[in-house]
Structure 1
Amino acid sequence: MTSRLILISAATSEALREARFDDGSPVDAPGLRAARTAAGAGAVPAAGRVWISPTARCRQTAEALGLQGGSEVDELGSLDVGRWRGATLAEVSTKEPEAVARWLSDPESAPHDGESVRAFCDRVAERLDAAAGFDGRTVAVVEPEVVRAVVVRALGAPEQAFWRVDVQPLTVTELSGRAGRWNLRAGRPLA
């Protein structure tokens, strides 16, 4: 049995353009156009299952891509950044430089009173483990940090590598494998 997991990173939003921690902002107009163009070009693969991160941006991206009947999956939700939600990285870095430095260097740190990178990677890995049990293709529309966590766990890399994975909007990261051993193909543009 071969499992295939196709992760599509969500389209752009104002928060993403401003380097602002997720605040529930919707996909912006250019992001919607790009997603609809990809859907019109037939770039979205067919799947037996569709999973959607429970954020407005991911739901809107999935809809624009024509992915109907998808299930919102809580384990694929955004990294909980607690009190930093809605602030830009520059704002938080100015107010709490030591906390930001600790958060970026220590995967167990959660100075924002949210979720640590390690806890987040553990949560996402639960869904990755579930995907390994499905035969066929699963397409998931997710936030970039979910792709980072999947890449870290699929490769068996330390969580410190989380911040070294760059994920662009509307790109595809594909995993295929058997018995939880994944092969990875990362960063291909959707369109």
Structure 2
Amino acid sequence: MSVTSLRLVAHGSTAALRQARFGGQLDDLDEGGLRAALALAPAAPGRRALLGASDVCLSSPAVAATRTAYALGLTPTVDAALADCDYGDWNGRSLEEIAATQPEALREWLSAPDAAPHRGESVLALRERVGRWLDGQRDRGQRVIAVTHPILLRVAVVHALDLPLVTYRQLDVEPLAIVRLTNRGSGWQLRLAAPPA
């Protein structure tokens, strides 16, 4: 039986994250985000990295994700399926700005996972995309690290555990958070592990 170990890593902090902006695919890590990612990388040969060994590292196309991977001492291969949610007309705009200018649209987006008032990707469509990607990793039989966006970690957990989609809003994912999923052929299991000594 092949075992797939998947570690999903949220990219480090960016100005867009700190300002609660939608998207920001071209946004790079801020100074604090880069420092925090570098602090997680193995400092010397023989020191076990927080992420452990991997066979492959995949990354969102976003600069913040690829820079995070490199800062962690990994060499990522870009995977378009790990791209951030397409926020359409809201991309780059702040939550505060949308709340002030389009309160009804924001309320619709926050309450209905299939809504896309921004003419971009709904949360439902995002879950379907991430779910297809996650299902495709199931029989890989490798140790995979995927560096991506916080919202993707949220919908991946919902998909992996077959939870109602609305529960994704109850998951809070901070920069550099790690979600560990394991598949031994019978479905994904969420693995809660202590950091290495």
Both structures adopt the same fold (TM-score exceeding 0.5): yes
Are 2:50 and 2:195, in contact at CA under 8 Å, matched by a contact in 1? no
Residue 187 of structure 1: CA displacement?
Answer: 9.3
Q: 1:8 to 1:190 in 2, by over 3 A?
A: farther
Query: What are the Cα deviations for residues 81-112 of structure 1, in whole angstroms up to 9, with x where unaligned?
Result: 00101111010011111111111111110000
Q: 1:85 corresponds to which letter in structure 2?
A: N
Shift in Å, 1:186: 5.6
Shift of 1:178: 2.4
In the TM superposition, residue 126 of structure 1 has moved relative to its aligned partner by: 1.1
Aligned to 2:177: 171
- Which residue number corresponds to residue 130 of structure 2? 124
Q: Please tell me whether the aligned partners of residues 7 and 51 of structure 2 are also in contact (alpha carbons under 8 angstroms).
A: no
Matched letter for residue 83 of structure 2: G
Corresponding residue number in structure 1 for 2:6: 5
**Partner secondary structure for residue 40 of structure 1:** coil
Q: CA deviation at 1:18?
A: 0.6
Runs (5+) with no aligned partner, structure 1: none
Distance of 2:42 and 2:92 partners within structure 1:
33
The share of aligned pairs that are identical, in percent, is 38
* Offset, 1:22: 1.7
Query: Structure 1 runs of 4+ off > 4 angstroms?
Result: 186-191
- The residue that corresponds to 2:46 in the other structure is none
Counterpart amino acid of 2:191? Answer: R
* Paired amino acid for 2:39: T
How does the TM-score come out when normalised to structure 2?
0.91
Matched, 1:65 2:102: no
Count of residues in correspondence between the two structures: 190
User: How many Å apart are 1:158 and its aligned residue?
Assistant: 1.5
Deviates more, 1:181-190 or 1:83-92: 181-190
Contact 2:57/2:74 (<8 A) preserved: yes
How far 1:35 moved relative to its partner? 0.7
CA distance in 2, matches of 1:180, 1:12: 35
Partner of 2:31: 29
Give the 3 Å change call, closer, same or farther, for CA 154–6 of structure 1 in structure 2: same
CA distance in 2, matches of 1:189, 1:35: 15
- Kindly tell me: are residues 144 and 150 of structure 1, through their superposed partners in 2, closer, same or farther at Cα, counting changes over 3 Å? same
1:180 offset after TM fit, Å?
Answer: 5.4
Deviates more, 1:24-33 or 1:175-184: 175-184
- What is the rounded CA distance, in whole Å, between the counterparts of 1:188 and 1:106 in structure 2? 35
